[in-house]
Amino acid sequence: MNGLMMQQPLLISSLLVHAERHHGEQEVVSRRVEGDIHRTTYRELAARSRRVANALARLGVKSGERVATLAWNGYRHLEIYYAASGSGAVLHTLNPRLHADQVTYIAGHAEDVALFFDLTFLPLVEAVASRLTTVRNFVALTDRAHMPAASKIANLLCYEELIEAENDRFTWPSFDENQASSLCYTSGTTGNPKGVLYSHRSTLLHTFGIALPDSLDCSARDTILPVVPMFHVNAWGLPYAACMTGSKLVFPGPGLDGKSLFDLFESEGVTLSAGVPTVWQGLLAYVDAHGLKFSTMRRTVIGGSACPPAMMKAFQERFDVQVLHAWGMTEMSPVGTVAALKRKQIGASAEARFAIQAKQGRTVYGVDMKIVGADGKELPWNGETSGELMVRGPWVISHYFKNEGGDPLVEDAEGHGWFPTGDVATIDADGFMQITDRSKDVIKSGGEWIGSIDLENIAMAHPGVAMAACIAAEHRKWDERPLLIVVKRPGAEVTREELLGFYEGRIAKWWTPDDIVFVESIPLGATGKMLKNRLRDQYGKYLLEKT
């Protein structure tokens, strides 16, 4: 017997309809590429999104076709988010930090039919336009006054002109909630990037999941500023969660330096933010250097790579900003776990609570996880045993776009498919997961694993260290040994001996890095993560050469 409740597909357009009807006056504030601060409301944003949907129809974009963006976080980008997915097309957020050849590959693989881009990226678009053979329309996200006088792109359209000509009446179509809504490519640090194709259903369920109090904790009383780009796994879902909960949204546009972010946090009363550790480093350095305090910011989500405990301490103890350490992947929409305390942990000592928070956390309802050994058997949750982390759930990938790479899932005895994350982790008895490494970054010394993240976290706790990466370097006797690559803080004096000594008592002696290389900078990838493969190419034989 079926239940007798309304059958309504879970569609992305419903989030915008809800925000307009119930939070119409709520503000959306953006720092624009043009340099000014722009203010709008969900009511206006919804009306403009309907114009964009009409414009997409006029451009001949059909259901299921991919509409690409190369854009910062901003209200126009948000309009396209809703217009493209809402009208049945697929939003494809391209990462402008990728090399032109990769952008070309990805846009070609996705068969994007239209490309909407911020003026910042005009040189990139001009460089690749002739190779984007599937793209029928190029649209610059600006008004007539700011359009480039001359462009190599034939028939370049102006976004404001395009939508000005349209009606703001548009009925969002209803369709199967399993229809594709958006597409993100993994960074492809090894091999070509692969597409992860989300559905309306997976996006809506993920939105419910991340808005929960023990998750990213979004509400109608919040002002959310996603520093994480809308081209990095849909800004971790915050543009959807903000509409679902009616939060005020603040978009930083191209201003991701410490000063620009801090100014916006203060002027707009931001309460919740989110981003990768490297971006917070710039912000903390600025705030420290100028003796500032956050007057409204209460929580920040840090994920994408491990949040060094020293950074967490700085936020919480010096600035009274709670860190929500989160873990996820493009293949998981992306949120999988958040380190929110359980009831029984509230009374624990500050140090004990801190140790729990430094883990990547427990799963949000909707995601299940387990760790397995080399034989595929599930390993115990004792906080000690580590194995490959596997996940399953309604917002976890089943196949890559165009079946690239074949079937990624591994079946268990009951026939359930699990997605192997490529991360190595422990899970404790309370269900808190801790990543020790990515499997490709693990250091295998004499057959034993050494977790590079632990070694990096210790180095980061030293006041003279700005950034640290630990890599596996080839070793004659032990096959691999840890080698630490360090960027010093400006003006700091720290020696190799001092830093190696810093490990004493903090870690098993045999885990201590064999050597330290001081460098000017560590290469970062398109999503702000340290490119350890690049470091391995450069320093992988360092220990062989030294002996």
Q: Which residues does the annotation mark as catalytic?
A: 186, 331, 444, 449
- The single residue among 102, 137, 207, 330 that binds ligand ADP, judged by CB under 6 A, is 330
Yes or no: say if 136 and 114 are a contact pair by the CB < 8 Å rule: yes
Nearer to ligand ADP, 88 or 277 (CB): 277
Q: Coil, strand, or helix at residue 438?
A: strand
CA 61, CA 81: separation in Å to the nearest integer? 14
- The single residue among 90, 242, 306, 311 that binds ligand ADP, judged by CB under 6 A, is 306
Nearer to ligand ADP, 26 or 360 (CB): 360
As a residue count, the chain comes to: 547
Nearer to ligand ADP, 61 or 210 (CB): 210
Radius of gyration of the chain (CA): 24
Q: Is the link from the previous residue into 334 a cis peptide, with omega within 30 of 0? A: yes
CA 150, CA 167: separation in Å to the nearest integer? 29
Side-chain-side CA neighbours of 506 within 13 Å: the count stands at 17
* Residues 182-201 interacting with ligand ADP (rule: CB under 6 A): 186-187, 189
From 70-78, 234-242, 415-423, 481-489, span contacting ligand ADP (CB under 6 A): 415-423
Q: How far is the CB of 106 from ligand ADP (least distance, A)?
A: 12
Task: Tell whether residue 137 is a contact of ligand ADP (CB under 6 A).
Answer: no
- The single residue among 166, 268, 423, 480 that binds ligand ADP, judged by CB under 6 A, is 423
Site size toward ligand ADP (CB under 6 A) is 22
Task: Tell whether residue 438 is a contact of ligand ADP (CB under 6 A).
Answer: yes
Q: How far is the CB of 464 from ligand ADP (least distance, A)?
A: 24
CA 68, CA 180: separation in Å to the nearest integer? 14
DSSP string, 297-335: --EEEE-SSPPPHHHHHIIIIIH--EEEEEEE-GGGSSE
What's CA 497's distance to the chain center, in Å? Answer: 36
CA 421, CA 390: separation in Å to the nearest integer? 6
Task: Tell whether residue 435 is a contact of ligand ADP (CB under 6 A).
Answer: yes
Q: How far is the CB of 195 from ligand ADP (least distance, A)?
A: 12
Task: Tell whether residue 480 is a contact of ligand ADP (CB under 6 A).
Answer: no
Q: How far is the CB of 188 from ligand ADP (least distance, A)?
A: 7
Say if strands 27-31 and 465-475 run parallel, antiparallel, or are unpaired.
unpaired
Q: Which residue is closest to ligand ADP by CB?
A: 187
From 200-208, 250-258, 290-298, 323-331, span contacting ligand ADP (CB under 6 A): 323-331
Yes or no: say if 445 and 475 are a contact pair by the CB < 8 Å rule: yes
CA 236, CA 242: separation in Å to the nearest integer? 11
CA 518, CA 512: separation in Å to the nearest integer? 16
- The single residue among 529, 534, 538, 540 that binds ligand ADP, judged by CB under 6 A, is 529
- The single residue among 70, 264, 329, 458 that binds ligand ADP, judged by CB under 6 A, is 329
Task: Tell whether residue 304 is a contact of ligand ADP (CB under 6 A).
Answer: yes
Yes or no: say if 96 and 124 are a contact pair by the CB < 8 Å rule: yes
Task: Tell whether residue 395 is a contact of ligand ADP (CB under 6 A).
Answer: no
From 328-336, 466-474, 486-494, 499-507, span contacting ligand ADP (CB under 6 A): 328-336
Q: How far is the CB of 277 from ligand ADP (least distance, A)?
A: 8
From 135-143, 319-327, 347-355, 390-398, span contacting ligand ADP (CB under 6 A): 319-327
Yes or no: say if 419 and 390 are a contact pair by the CB < 8 Å rule: yes
Q: How far is the CB of 329 from ligand ADP (least distance, A)?
A: 4
Query: What residue spans of 24-74 are helical by DSSP H?
Result: 42-58
CA 29, CA 21: separation in Å to the nearest integer? 19
x/- string (CB under 6 A) for ligand ADP, residues 334-373? x-------------------------x-------------
CA 231, CA 185: separation in Å to the nearest integer? 10
Tokens 């929960």, located at residue: 212
Nearer to ligand ADP, 189 or 345 (CB): 189
CA 397, CA 233: separation in Å to the nearest integer? 13
- The single residue among 13, 421, 452, 512 that binds ligand ADP, judged by CB under 6 A, is 421
Which residues here bind ligand ADP, judged by CB under 6 A? 186-187, 189, 303-306, 325-330, 334, 360, 421-423, 435, 438, 527, 529
